[in-house]
């Protein structure tokens, strides 16, 4: 790879079965909303955030907007959307441990776990394979470590593809759950591979990143949750074995506006553990700071699904408009992929996947 490497840009991914996996967001709106509001009040109790989470700029004291009582401000330096309070260790404990962050992601039965691996995680692996192959690598000759692996869906997808993959996770219950399921699914059939996931404590994560024997390290929906994302990226830079970093990050996007406009609908993007969101400029700031060369980007989000859910719930909760809820659903459901495609192309989508080379 050199400076002439053409950046590969991809847009969109059909929702397919995704609506089914997120069914609890439709069925359990009241409970989800209550949980979000509870976390918002806990977040408000944390000290003010004085500097941008991504660049060194100081943040203005007056917020740009407030949502569910939480003030937010766009960084004057890099455009990053920052919650005006800090995501302290105490807050992280309340979000990820007390509130059982993984609850929504548990796939308790094999069929559901396997379907989630196939629908959501295998496409990420195929994307990686395509880019790495284009770089002249042999993807099956590389080793992969997933940090913040949860119940191991991405590790399972890599393993299913026949790759040497393992993961580290902070939640002991998710490690046990994922290891058991991967054995049952045959992704860890021999003793040496019986534990593809290992448990690490929060204060061990950086040390693990600095020493893990991986060519490719992935952080899928993880970096934004870390109290100090920069320290983790520095640890990876200090690990001479690591050449590629694969990230999935949440973005300031149409979903943020939808969430702000529909306060009675449980938010999915800017809430709970997501106290800050990336934009084009703050991604560039992150890349400059950590000497990351962007090799490929895949822009796709769930914004149109969030709009659909907001309309569906809001129309249904008022007797004057309740009859329109099904009418809206019948008309909009067939359009969701195409609507999302427009949002993705504009890079105003809720998520981006990025493959980076570490420059040394
Ligand atoms: Zn900034």
Question: What is the Å distance from ligand 1's center to 122 Cα?
Answer: 33
User: What's residue 161's pLDDT?
Assistant: 94
Per the CB < 8 A criterion, the answer to whether 248 and 224 are in contact is: no
Residue 67 within a domain: no
pLDDT tens figures, 37-64: 999 999 999 999 999 999 999 999 999 9
Q: Which structural domain, as residue segments, surrounds residue 243?
A: 8-32+114-358
Banded model confidence at residue 7, pLDDT cuts 50, 70, 90:
confident
User: What's residue 202's pLDDT?
Assistant: 87
Question: What is the Å distance from ligand 1's center to 251 Cα?
Answer: 14
Residue 28 within a domain: yes
Residue 141 within a domain: yes
pLDDT > 90: what percent of the chain? Answer: 81
Give the residue-averaged pLDDT of 258-285. Answer: 97
Residue 118 within a domain: yes
**Rounded Cα distance, 120 and 125, in Å:** 10
Please state the pTM of the whole predicted model.
Answer: 0.93
Residue 210 within a domain: yes
Give the residue-averaged pLDDT of 69-95. Answer: 95
**Rounded Cα distance, 259 and 266, in Å:** 8
Can you state the angle between helices 172-184 and 153-160, rounded to 10 degrees? Answer: 30
Average pLDDT, the chain: 91
Residue 308 within a domain: yes
* Protein residues near ligand 1, an ion, with CB under 5 A: 52, 54-55, 57, 75, 77-78, 80
Give the residue-averaged pLDDT of 268-275. Answer: 96
Question: What is the Å distance from ligand 1's center to 33 Cα?
Answer: 29
Question: What is the Å distance from ligand 1's center to 54 Cα?
Answer: 5
Question: What is the Å distance from ligand 1's center to 52 Cα?
Answer: 5
Residue 80 within a domain: no
139, pLDDT greater than 90:
yes
User: What's residue 105's pLDDT?
Assistant: 46
Give the residue-averaged pLDDT of 172-179. Answer: 90
Question: What is the Å distance from ligand 1's center to 139 Cα?
Answer: 35
104, pLDDT greater than 50:
no
Number of domains present in the structure of the chain: 1
Question: What is the Å distance from ligand 1's center to 272 Cα?
Answer: 21
Can you state the angle between helices 303-316 and 254-261, rounded to 10 degrees? Answer: 10
Q: Which of 26-30, 81-85, 192-196, 283-287 has the lowest mean pLDDT?
A: 192-196
Question: What is the Å distance from ligand 1's center to 59 Cα?
Answer: 8
Question: What is the Å distance from ligand 1's center to 17 Cα?
Answer: 36
Give the residue-averaged pLDDT of 16-23. Answer: 62
pLDDT tens figures, 190-210: 545 568 999 999 889 999 999
Q: What is the CATH number of the domain that holds 316?
A: 3.40.50.150
Give the residue-averaged pLDDT of 215-241. Answer: 97
Number of H helices, E strands in the chain: 15, 12
Q: Which of 2-16, 23-37, 189-203, 280-294 has the lowest mean pLDDT?
A: 189-203
Question: What is the Å distance from ligand 1's center to 78 Cα?
Answer: 4
**Rounded Cα distance, 322 and 49, in Å:** 42
Give the residue-averaged pLDDT of 277-305. Answer: 97
Question: What is the Å distance from ligand 1's center to 286 Cα?
Answer: 9
Residue 107 within a domain: no
Question: What is the Å distance from ligand 1's center to 121 Cα?
Answer: 31
78, pLDDT greater than 50:
yes
308 to 16, 267, 277, 302, 336: CA distances (angstroms): 15, 13, 22, 10, 8
């Amino acid at each position: 790879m050199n400076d002439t490497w053409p950046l590969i840009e991809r847009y969109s991914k059909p929702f397919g079965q995704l609506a089914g996996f997120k069914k609890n967001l439709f069925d359990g709106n009241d409970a989800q909303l209550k949980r979000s509001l509870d976390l918002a009040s806990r977040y408000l109790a944390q000290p003010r955030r004085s500097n941008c989470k991504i660049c060194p700029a100081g943040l203005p004291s007056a917020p740009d907007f407030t949502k569910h009582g939480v003030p937010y401000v766009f960084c004057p330096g890099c455009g990053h959307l920052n919650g005006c309070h800090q995501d302290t260790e105490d807050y992280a404990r309340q979000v990820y441990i007390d509130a059982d962050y993984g609850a929504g992601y548990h796939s308790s039965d094999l069929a559901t776990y396997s379907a989630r691996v196939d629908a959501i995680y295998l496409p990420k692996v195929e994307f990686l394979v395509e880019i790495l192959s284009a770089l002249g690598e042999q993807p099956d000759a590389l080793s992969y470590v997933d940090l913040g692996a949860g119940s191991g869906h991405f590790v399972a997808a890599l393993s299913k593809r026949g790759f040497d993959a393992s993961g580290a996770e902070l939640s002991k219950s998710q490690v046990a759950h994922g290891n058991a399921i991967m054995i049952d699914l045959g992704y860890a059939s021999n003793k040496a591979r019986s534990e593809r996931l290992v448990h690490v404590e929060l204060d061990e994560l950086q040390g693990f990143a600095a020493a893990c024997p991986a060519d490719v390290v992935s952080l899928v929906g993880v970096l934004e949750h870390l109290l100090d994302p920069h320290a983790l990226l520095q640890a990876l830079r200090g690990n001479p074995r690591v050449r590629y970093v694969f990230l999935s990050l949440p973005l300031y996007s149409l979903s943020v506006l939808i969430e702000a406009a529909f306060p009675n609908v449980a938010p999915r993007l800017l809430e709970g553990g997501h106290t800050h969101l990336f934009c084009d400029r703050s991604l560039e700031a992150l890349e400059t700071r950590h000497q990351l060369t962007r090799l490929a980007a895949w822009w796709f989000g769930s914004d149109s699904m969030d709009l659909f859910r907001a309309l569906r719930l809001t129309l249904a909760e008022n007797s004057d408009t309740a009859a329109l809820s099904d009418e809206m659903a019948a008309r909009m459901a067939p359009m969701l992929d195409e609507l999302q495609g427009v949002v993705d192309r504009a890079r105003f989508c809720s998520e981006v996947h990025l493959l980076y080379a570490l420059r040394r």
